[in-house]
Structure 1
């Protein structure tokens, strides 16, 4: 069981169909860094960046929302143009994407999708944690947490 958390960041509604998510998420990450979103978020808990996948229409083949943001202690101040959400505690299965980013994360998701039924996914929310280890070139690591029943 992983504790719940609050997050503030920027979001997009997307789908994995026809490579749409690759484009939308690339733009969202671009915006996150170009607009220095990290610095604008109040009440940060850590230096880690979270990418959260939620509001699934059904499963990974349909629409979902992605939020790129930072865990915070409070949702009292949400900067204009940003999203603030609270996520409840869930049961998660952890995967570690290892290698050059973002390819390693993409490859790990392919593995997760192939094992979709076996993993007994809950589709409440899943998330990635980009910490210090995520910026180590070809030896980077990103933790991916998949909600399970």
Structure 2
């Protein structure tokens, strides 16, 4: 994984509280979050987007990756001055991250497989915020390219 310094950023989107220790709950929660994001046109409701990338931020960890956390699915924005009803806005200070680009079939578990690899690594994680970034190269879910950035100390 490449080490980078991520600048501060804002994000607006929808959230769910979940955990990785119950795979059925995790699957239901994340499928529900993505399903709602797409079905309700959440991206189009987000004002002041800086680009068309979709971000999923994992934050508010109660401990390590096996403990409950919040997933916030949305877009990075230039300001949090306008947050539509039903959406959440957050500011992140940025910091040091381990970054890797992954490819695969998102519908067949490529994202979960990427996370299993990450969990097996000996990273000194900060557990402040981890990010998945889905840009234009993720448009075809069967052959998607996506980035994962892990907050590190």
Query: Is contact 2:106–2:143 with CA below 8 Å preserved after alignment?
Result: no
Q: Distance between the aligned counterparts of 1:72 and 1:4, measured in 2?
A: 11
2:91 aligned residue: 86
TM-score by length of 1: 0.95
Question: Which sits farther off after the overlay, 130-139 or 100-109?
Answer: 130-139
What is the root-mean-square deviation in Å for CA atoms of aligned residues? 1.0
Structure 1: stretches of 5+ with no match in the other structure: none
Q: Secondary structure at the match of 2:106?
A: coil
Deviations 1:37-91 (A, max 9, x none): 0001101100000000000000110000000000001111100010000011110
Structure 1 residue aligned with 2:151: 147
Contact 2:138 2:146 in 1 (8 A): yes
Pair 1:110 & 2:116 matched: yes
Give the Cα–Cα distance (whole angstroms) in 1 for the partners of residues 84 and 78 of structure 2.
Answer: 15
Mapped partners of 2:38, 2:22: distance in 1: 25
In the other structure, the counterpart of 1:44 is 49
- Give me the whole-angstrom Cα distance separating, in 2, the residues matched to 1:87 and 1:136: 29
Structure 2: any 5+ residue segments left out of the alignment? none
Tell me, yes or no, if structure 1 residue 98 matches structure 2 residue 103. Answer: yes
Match of 2:63 in 1: 58
TM-score by length of 2: 0.93
The answer for the alignment partner of 2:27 in structure 1 is: 22
- CA distance, structure 2, for counterparts of residue 57 and residue 137 of structure 1: 31
Deviation sequence 1:75-118 (CA, Å, 0-9, x none): 11100010000011110001222111142111110001111xx1
Separation in 2, partners of 1:138, 1:26: 16
What secondary structure does 2:114 align onto?
Answer: helix
